[in-house]
Structure 1
Amino acid sequence: MKSKFVAFGLILAAGLATAAEQPSLELIMSDPDWIGNAPQSPYWSDSGDSIYYSQKQVGEDFSQLFRLTLPGGETLAVDESRSPADSGRDKIYNSDRSAVAWLERGDIFLKDLKSKQSQRITATVSDESHLQFSADDNSLQFLRDEQFFSFDLQRGSLRQLTDIRLSDDPKAEQARFDVLRAQQARTYRSLVESAQRSERREAAEQLRAQHPKALYLGKNIRVLARSLSPNGEQLALVVSDASDDTGRAGSMPNYLTADGYVTVREVRSRVGRNTERAQDLLIVDLSSNKISKVDWSSLPGIDQDPLAKLRLSALKWHLEQGANEAEVKQALTAPEQRGLSVTQLKWSPNGQHLALQLLANDFKDRWLVSYSPAAAGAQLKLQHRLSDEAWINWEYNDFGWLSDSRSLWFLSEESGYSHLYRKAFDEKRATALSSGQFVVREPAIAPAEDYAYLVANRAHPGNYHVYRVPLSGGALEQVSDLDGVSSFVLSPNSEQLLISRSWFDRHEDLYLGASDGSQGLKRLTDTVSARYREIDWIIPKIVEVPSSHSERPIYSKLYLPADHDPNKRYPALMFVHGAGYTQNAHFGWPYYFREFMFHTVLSNAGYVVLDMDYRASQGYGRDWRTSIYRNMGQPELEDFLDGIDYLVEQQGVERHRVGIYGGSYGGFMTFMALFKAPEAFAAGAALRPVVDWMHYENDYTQRILNTPLIDPEAYQRSSPINHAAGLEKPLLITSGMQDDNVFFQDSVLMVQRLLELKKPDFEIAIYPLEGHGFSNPESWLDQYRRIFKLMQKHLQ
């Protein structure tokens, strides 16, 4: 066989690509500006006659705002130093949509849509946020410096609505009985009279100034979120105990600094190292400053322990490891009531009702509830409960109000797939607006509330179109006609869609279409560079790899050499996408675009490449996602082995010439593949890899493996460090030393373990300035050059 390494060396020497050349590693790992920069964060002008989008500037770390006039008009850069002519992307409307308000660089702007006159409401150093119209549309309410304010639109006056203080009330100590204080009051009349005059003066000043009365929550309260009712009557505060242990922070040294000295910064804590911070909800009546604490006890299942069996098995396991029985029993004792977190809270448009999304701290229940604080005997009312013996998804949890202030829409995986539901307060059950073995996401309700628009992969798991469905119920209608991966923004009059759409080898560009699907999409931008278009990229096929463990196939991207002949024999490389829960076998521009280009280099060098959406991947429903519960690494490895069978049986791959590589979760799975199935893989490259899940962050890891205290066996099974003795084939480890996601320490731990096991065939490459996602082209190039050389040596 002709040396592929020699051929690759010629490609490297050729430098930057031309129309007649194939891509080089230097080119594809260089600053991606050369590809062209996609339009980002598109939105409509207020009149709907033009669109705006941002675009990263070549060679810079900032973006420029552009305006494109419709239809087919010119594109002009926007002078962002001047007051904006149109509202921004994240805008809010009053009830009759005659006015729009938005935040621009931390300040508030307002526009009258009838007169088309805009005005700046604030110009402050402090950032304003939580912007909303009041229920009567007469004022704008917002948060500044942790306090709510109201801007009267008629008078042009500003009023502070809250004065929340996280300290003890200084008068509280005076109110408590004190022998000496009582003696002073009895003896010295002038002290008493002076104090009384002072109190009357303060009350009079308070009345004249109309300032809000200070509300002292105490120094032991931590405020996590706050939300003002649009009627201005109630304030919702999500709080926790300030003394809760948030867990010991990790330390991240930086050895390469401007002054030459090593610096150390604190980074996240590790899974299970913090106490479960149970959150409470306080409702403050702003007219009286009376505080009511919402009672969670009526939530179904709140007093049950879904981890009870695991606690018993964990006690046995810890005792077998020599732990103290009394200490372990105490640590494993379940709380009387499960802790929960308030993940979202939204007031109804009239401000009378509060909708809350609550998530159990064990991640096995999600409650959607309503609460009407002004009602007599106010109590939580359950609107929807979603339970999962594995874990509640961190995606597909959107919800919101309809304008009647009595109805909610929300997403749920209740059916096993994410779908859209509608529910009125007085209805016992929610109405499913979509159904089937596909997922819907990114819902948007039309202003007239006749349709809900959404993105779904109904036609194919990897093909995301825009659809609409009547809110009153009816058929799901496809309204975009181009395959790929799409997202959308509905025009102000609901008649058009601004769609961002990408394809396998093309990043997102903007398209225009009718919201009822009556017209084909018209392309508005073409931002891919001529240089990129001239290259003959290998476009992958999405194939269905038969699974030996599931009834459904494993959807995968297959890259083949241009002259592929299944009767010949080829080496193969398996790419493992990161995140675990993401989707890469889709029709759009991948998050892993460098890897897409790298796979063309590999295919041109004679490799077959397989990129699998293994079990745990996104886009395939709840069961596919949770198949790794308490057993990370095993179902995915089974899918990889099925992938090898497919490559050998159908694509001419030689079984002993298969390599594997990936980053983050892909690095973790590279370890598991080489350690647990060493006979299946000839070599592997683990990039920024997880080594021991006990060192990863809480919210991700606890969902899948519970905590190391409660489920130690899951961590033993799922952590590569415990399987390292199985390494038999060459291994490359690469890691950025500034990685605050998967710590560099993980790779250090693995290297030490391999040293102690006396494993002879591994190496590590470290990158002093890189985080989890590399930023320097030199680091990208070095890393992928090492991967290529590793595979050339052991697969060719």
Structure 2
Amino acid sequence: MKTLRGVVFFLIAAIGCSLAIAASAQDKKPTLTVERIYADPPLSGELPDRILWLPDSKGISYLIEREIDGEKKTLFAIRDVPFGEEKIICIPDTFAVPEDLKKSDDDKFSFGGYIWSEVGRMIVFRHKGDVFTFDRTTGTLERRTQTEDTETNVTFSPDGSMVAYTRENDLYMMDLDNRERRITTTGADTLLNGILNWVYMEELFTRGNRRAYWWAPNSRAIAFMELNDGSVPEFPLVDLIPTHGSVEMQRYPKAGDPNPRVRVGVYDLESEELYWIDPLAGEDAYIARVYWLSDSKRLAIEKLNRDQNELVLLFADYRAGAWEQILTETDSTWVSVDYMKHYYETKSRFVWTSERDGYAQLYLYNLNGKLIRRLTNGPWEVVALDGVDEKQGDIYYTALEKSLLERHLYKVSEKGKKMRRLTQLSGSHAVRFSPDHRFYIDYFSNTETPTQATVHDAQGKHLFKLWEDPPEELASYDLPAPEIFTMTSVQGISYQCSMIKPTHFDPGKKYPVIIYTYGGPNAQLVRNRWGGSLYLWHAMMAERGYIIFSLDNRGAFGKGRIWENPIYKRLGQLELHDQLAGVDYLKSLPFVDASRIGIWGWSYGGYMTCLALFKTPDVFKAGAAVAPVADFRLYDTIYTERYMKRPEDNEEAYNEGAPINFVENLKGAFLLVHGTADDNVHMQSSIVLAEKLIEAGKDFDLMLYPGKMHGIRGKAARTHLFNKITTFFEENL
């Protein structure tokens, strides 16, 4: 009887143990891997592509991929506003690719980069370098150009009767009867008409958008910039993959080099005459912005001096050949250039942005340059001018008024009164208003919520969601949330910081720390927003037992010019000082292993990583620098001289801020990474660093990504890169 009882007890215990193990297995969360982070479908979800308002504000168009009959198809669709009903306009994949553009039988047609005509009936876009239009009312696809050369920068005229584009560095236009008109004839490798060169695109205008022409509101004239690169030195971008290799020569002015010469021209369609506007922007000045005034006779041109501490707004009458100075912005350091301007269509006034009191704020002027009134006021930054409803007299903008860490939409009247916040959810909002300003799309995220797009009316009322929900898989991971806090140094300086602690954090243990830094001017790492794949990789490293820490040093965006200006003429010095204050804070925490602190960053963050390892070698055990600047003499004129002036005028600071001058101090493990086709921070920086490290007898790891540019994009490359960095820290920290 005793034996039987023992057997029964043993069986019950065994069954209970098995059930517990099974339950534990079910409760166990999956762990992140680099492969999953960069695989499809994205864990953060995926918004539709090319989301645009219809010109009549009655709908939102987009491209979205869906499965149809077991096959993925790209759909061109429109959601009705305000009701949100979706209508499929067509399936671009089903259009036949012209035989002369087809490279394989698998080629599919694409509407990528499409733009609406003003009447909202037709879109224009490029496919394989040629211009096409699609009429949504008839379903007709029409090929507009068929040339060996590539057309770029395609737009409709405001009245929808013509399209303009660039080809071989010249500007063209075509009516809808396919009659082409060549506007300029001087295009060459060193002379660009209607096209930005690299440094203007990267540092003054919009990254990725090289269009440098603008239609007059009445569609009867077109203004453009002519950039003469003849005096700009060339830099070789070498492709070593082909059997015999190839070289592309890039016009790239490095700090102190001659700049492109720029001037503004206007082509008048009625007279068929080309007018040039003086004053010109020679090598020692920049044309920073060009806008049309509502009369279609005058242009608003922003001219910036080479030192970038004086910006002049000019109004130019292109036919009369006359111009007048409207207002001037000056600063003892630099004047910021932005897109937060609006020239009224119905009134003789404009909205202007200035940092004259230390923060970016909005001002209302008349066309004579007389200040009417200040529209916003406070110790916080305006970050975007989202729309001006001229009929209702309301101005919409995004600002940091609620929190330095968040972005919210506000409305204020033209009288500068009745300021109201329209977005309520805590986090970061970026909005896009409908043309009539009755609705807006809100792109929202916070540290725990991937980006979602919702549609609202102008009072902030939610109408419908536009995004596809993130995969349910994301919720299955036990992701550690970033903690955002303020740290005050022993010198009394307060810094915004973020920390991701290891999963199942135990305050009684000691953990290694990886500092993620950027550190450059006008950037902000610590924000209440979703961090995408980078956050997921940091979360993965936290799962593996690392603390991830970031700090926004002086020079970072958001706290006004009093916080930004101290880095002027001494890049790399105060930023490193502040990052070391963060290290002191980390060392004060009982759960931090002070002997195992690492650092990594990309671009300016790579530069900061090099400075940290080379100038404070006893602080950091390991560091990974991706696409770093080795010496600001090797970087471009506009960015570098904005903060450092020319090398001959600030030689000591250039030397003190150059990582190549301190490589002999390296003690920790160092991983150096670069894309061989980087046209932003040239691979030259990493090659020069490697040479100096070898001469100093220092051991380091070098990883090059063939054919990759500054962002080292592509699933395979990103997967390899982050596996490389993961292994590096696991082996050395």
Same fold, TM exceeding 0.5? Answer: yes
Select 1:20's aligned residue among 26, 29, 32. Answer: 29
The C-alpha deviation readout for 1:324-369, integer Å capped at 9, x for no partner, is xxxxxxxxxxxxx983222322222221322112222332222222
Which of 86, 103, 107 aligns to 2:124? It is: 103
Contact 2:519–2:608, Cα closer than 8 Å, also in 1 = no
- Classify 1:121/1:679 alpha carbon distance in 2 versus 1 (closer, same or farther; 3 Å): same
User: Residue in 1 aligned with 2:420?
Assistant: 477
CA apart distance, 1:585: 1.3
Task: Pick closer, same or farther for the CA change 1:707–1:144 going to 2, 3 Å.
Answer: closer
- CA distance in 1 between counterparts of 2:262 and 2:727 reads 52
Partner residue of 1:693 out of 613, 628, 632 = 632
> Which residue in 2 is equivalent to 1:438?
381
Query: 2:473 aligned with 1:531, yes or no?
Result: yes
User: How far apart are 1:575 and its partner, in Å?
Assistant: 0.6
Structure 1 residues 223 and 549: alpha-carbon distance in aligned structure 2, compared to 1, 3 A threshold: farther
Q: Which residue of 680, 702, 723 maps to 1:764? A: 702
Cα distance change, pair 439–621 in 1 and its aligned pair in 2 (3 A): farther
| Residue 721 of structure 1: aligned partner | 660
Q: Secondary structure at the match of 2:649?
A: coil
CA contact (8 A) 1:439 1:620 kept: no
2:233 to 241, 244, 247: 247
What is the alpha-carbon distance in structure 1 between the residues aligned to residue 361 and residue 349 of structure 2? 17
Query: Aligned residue for 2:691?
Result: 752
In 2, Cα distance between equivalents of 1:714 and 1:64: 54
Instruction: Tell me the residue number matched to 1:358.
Output: 303
With 598-607 and 661-670 compared, the bigger mean Cα shift is at 598-607
Match of 2:401 among 458, 469, 478: 458
Shift of 1:721: 0.2
Q: CA deviation at 1:714?
A: 2.7
- Residues 1:470 and 1:439: Cα distance change in structure 2 (over 3 Å): same
Q: Which residue of 1 aligns with 2:677?
A: 738
CA distance in 1, matches of 2:42, 2:577: 38
Worse overlay, 709-718 or 219-228 = 219-228
Cα offsets for 1:724-777 (capped at 9, x unmatched): 122122222222333332223322221221121122x42223333433223354
Residue 366 of structure 2: aligned partner: 424
Question: Secondary structure in 1 aligned to 2:444?
Answer: strand
CA contact (8 A) 2:134 2:141 kept: yes
Instruction: Quote the Cα distance in structure 1 between the aligned partners of 2:152 and 2:451.
Output: 31
User: Counterpart in 2 of 1:124?
Assistant: 145
Q: Pairwise mapping of residues 346-425 of structure 1 onto structure 2 (< 5 A)?
A: 346-373=291-318, 379-394=322-337, 396-404=338-346, 406-425=348-367
Correspondence for 1:166? 186
Instruction: State the secondary structure of the residue aligned to 1:458.
Output: coil
Q: 2:252 aligns with which of 250, 269, 277?
A: 269
Aligned residue type for 2:245 = V
Distance 2:75 2:654 in 1: 47
Q: Distance in 2 between matches of 1:649 and 1:370?
A: 57
User: Aligned ranges for residues 618-657 of structure 1 at < 5 Å?
Assistant: 618-650=557-589, 652-657=591-596
Contact conserved, 2:387 with 2:437, CA < 8 A, in 1? no
2:53 aligned partner, one-letter code:
W
How many pairs were matched up? 662
- What pairs with 1:15-414 in structure 2 (closer than 5 Å)? 20-30=29-39, 33=42, 35-45=44-54, 50-55=59-64, 64-69=75-80, 71=83, 73=85, 76=88, 78-80=90-92, 90-91=115-116, 93=118, 103-105=124-126, 106-107=131-132, 123-125=144-146, 129=154, 131-133=156-158, 142=164, 146=170, 164-166=184-186, 223=193, 225-227=212-214, 229-230=216-217, 236=223, 238-239=225-226, 244-254=230-240, 256-257=241-242, 260-272=243-255, 274-282=257-265, 294-296=277-279, 339-373=284-318, 379-394=322-337, 396-404=338-346, 406-414=348-356
User: Who is 2:511 aligned against?
Assistant: 570
Q: What does the per-residue CA deviation read over 1:623-665, in whole Å, with 9 as the maximum and x for residues that have no partner?
A: 4334322222111111211112222334632322211111221
Note if 1:491 corresponds to 2:434: yes
Is the 8 Å Cα contact of residues 239 and 281 (structure 1) preserved in structure 2?
Answer: yes
The separation in 1 between residues aligned to 2:216 and 2:662, in whole angstroms, is 54
How far the C-alpha of 1:705 sits from its partner, in A, is 2.0
Deviations 1:688-739 (A, max 9, x none): 2221222223322222222333333232121100111221222222223333
Q: Is the 8 Å Cα contact of residues 74 and 92 (structure 2) preserved in structure 1?
A: no
Conserved 8 A contact 1:338-1:360: no
Supply the distance in 2 between the matched residues of 1:29 and 1:99 (Cα, whole angstroms). 37
The residue that corresponds to 1:596 in the other structure is 535
Give the whole-Å Cα distance in 2 for the aligned partners of 1:713 and 1:63: 56
1: CA distance, partners of 2:681 / 2:27? 38
CA pair 732-221 structure 1, distance change in 2 beyond 3 A? closer
| Matched letter for residue 124 of structure 2 | L
Pair 1:491–1:288, CA change in 2 (3 A): closer
State the one-letter code of the partner of 1:250: P
CA shift in 2, pair 1:777/1:240, >3 Å: closer
* DSSP-derived class of the 1:661 partner: strand
Q: Secondary structure at the match of 2:633?
A: helix
In structure 2, do the counterparts of structure 1 residues 166 and 479 end up closer, same or farther at CA, with 3 Å as the change threshold? same
User: 2-side partners of 1:492 and 1:291: how far apart?
Assistant: 31
Q: Is the contact between residue 38 and residue 528 of structure 1 (CA under 8 Å) also seen in structure 2?
A: no
How high is the TM-score relative to the length of structure 1? 0.73
Report SS of the residue matched to 1:380. strand
Cα RMSD (Å) of the superposition?
4.0
CA deviation string 1:135-179 (max 9, x = no partner): xx9x6575676566585xxxx878888754439xxxxxxxxxxxx
Shift in alpha-carbon separation, 1:109–1:426, aligned structure 2, 3 A? farther
Moved more, 626-635 or 278-287: 278-287
Compared with structure 1, are the counterparts of its residues 743 and 371 closer, same or farther at alpha carbon in structure 2 (3 Å cutoff)? Answer: closer
Give the Å deviation of 1:559: 0.6
Matched with 2:8 is: none
Q: State which drifts further: 571-580 or 345-354.
A: 571-580
For the 8 Å contact 1:580–1:665, the answer to whether it is kept is no
Q: Distance in 1 between matches of 2:56 and 2:263?
A: 43
Unaligned 5+ runs, structure 2: 1-25, 96-110, 195-211
CA distance in 2, matches of 1:668, 1:62: 43
Instruction: Tell me, in whole angstroms, the C-alpha distance in 1 between the residues paired with 2:553 and 2:72.
Output: 35
Larger CA deviation: 563-572 vs 713-722: 563-572
**Are the equivalent residues in 1 in contact too, given 2:74–2:93 (CA < 8 A)?**
no
SS of the residue corresponding to residue 469 of structure 1 reads: strand
Contact 1:37 1:55 in 2 (8 A): no
Q: Which moves more between the two structures, 400-409 or 746-755?
A: 400-409
Query: Whose radius of gyration is greater, 1 or 2?
Result: 1
1:483/1:30 Cα in 2 relative to 1: closer, same or farther (>3 Å)? same
2:50 is matched by which residue type in structure 1? S
Task: Please give the secondary structure, in 2, of the residue aligned with 1:67.
Answer: strand
Percent same amino acid among aligned pairs? 23
Give, as a single letter, the amino acid of the residue that structure 1 aligns with 2:476: E
Equivalence for 1:554: 495
Q: Which has the higher strand share?
A: 2
